[in-house]
Amino acid sequence: MKLAVVGTGYWGKNHVRALKELLDEGKISHLSICDTDEKRADEIAQHYGIPYCTSSHELSDDVDGVVIATPSDTHHALAKEFLAAGKDVLVEKPMTLHSRRAEELIQIAEKNECILMVGHIFRYHSAVNEIKRRITRGDFGSIYYMMSNRFSLRYPRKDMGVLFALGIHEVDVFCYLMDQPYPEELFATVSNYIGKTEETAQIITYFKGGATGYAFESWLTPVYGKRRELVVVGSRMSARIDYLKPNEITFFDATISQETVSQEDSYVIPIEYREPLKEELLDFITCMKTRKQPVANMHIGKAAVEMIEKAMESAKEGRKIRL
């Protein structure tokens, strides 16, 4: 199995590192990289002892699949190029910046019988999957609400705002936990204080069955330091994940009903942590071999883009949007 990483910047270099580990473990037979910045490509290639090129056209005949980790506005064109050449593709999130372009990629992938996977990495997070297992088993009872916070203090990105950069993670995780492709409705508000794109946003998602998801993200929060957390509240149990402590979950035995509201114990359980990025790449490699659809498949990628489009529409019009 021959793979290449296209784009070796901030996130792409992590793909290279993880795939080099899988190469050393014998999970793939070849790894190469491609980056238009030749100096960067050469440095990374020398560090890992792998070949590089500076044009995506040079890769088509030499690989079975590619990982695209370039700027988001290039995802569509690059994925289209490789899918048209019959290559399997793992493209980082967001799949595209427009749902109609995501649909075009799906049609090309289906026509050429290619695997098209999207980097919704939290579907491969050990703690998220532990909570999902317990929800499915009924441990939580009825899910009342989910709350996700992503705060930090950094200069806003120029290529996209927090909705596509961060909010897309939250809405995807909410859908994953609820086992629903979309919420029934959503409402969003956004603010931009120092740039042209939104630096702070809140998304409220309303699911079939009554569960609600609240996502709050901001690049302009000096109060907390960096915070990444997920809270799930049910009628019989609640839980909190601190993504900065990925090997544990805090559970709360609490009953919340019309008859009683009571809390008993809270406890932390250790999680066998497996690096989500590596698990994601292993799923891609497995699906390339078996031709089965990945956990984070192309339809999930398109749905996430659609939800962010609807969030933008909601924020602009100041109303709930049905999906």
Q: Residue 171's closest CA among 10, 279, 286, 321?
A: 321
Predicted pLDDT at 269:
92
Q: What is the mean pLDDT of residues 258-274?
A: 83
Model confidence pLDDT, tens digit, residues 179-194: 999 999 999 999 999 9
Q: What is the mean pLDDT of residues 142-146?
A: 98
Model confidence pLDDT, tens digit, residues 4-38: 999 999 999 999 999 999 999 999 999 999 999 99
Is the pLDDT reported for residue 138 higher than 90? yes
Whether this model's pTM surpasses 0.85: yes
E-strand ranges in the chain read: 2-6, 30-34, 52-53, 65-68, 88-92, 116-119, 143-151, 185-191, 200-206, 212-218, 227-234, 238-242, 248-256, 261-270, 321-322
Is the pLDDT reported for residue 255 higher than 80? no
Model confidence pLDDT, tens digit, residues 59-105: 867 899 999 999 999 999 999 999 999 999 999 999 999 999 999 99
Is the pLDDT reported for residue 260 higher than 90? no
Model confidence pLDDT, tens digit, residues 306-318: 999 999 999 999 9
What is the percent of the chain where pLDDT is above 70?
100
- How many CB atoms are closer than 10 A to CB 102? 27
Domains of the chain from N-terminus onward: 2-120+277-297 (3.40.50.720), 123-274+307-322 (3.30.360.10)
Predicted pLDDT at 257:
74
Model confidence pLDDT, tens digit, residues 199-253: 999 999 999 999 999 999 999 999 878 899 999 999 999 999 999 999 999 999 8
Are 214 and 201 in contact, with CB atoms under 8 Å apart?
no
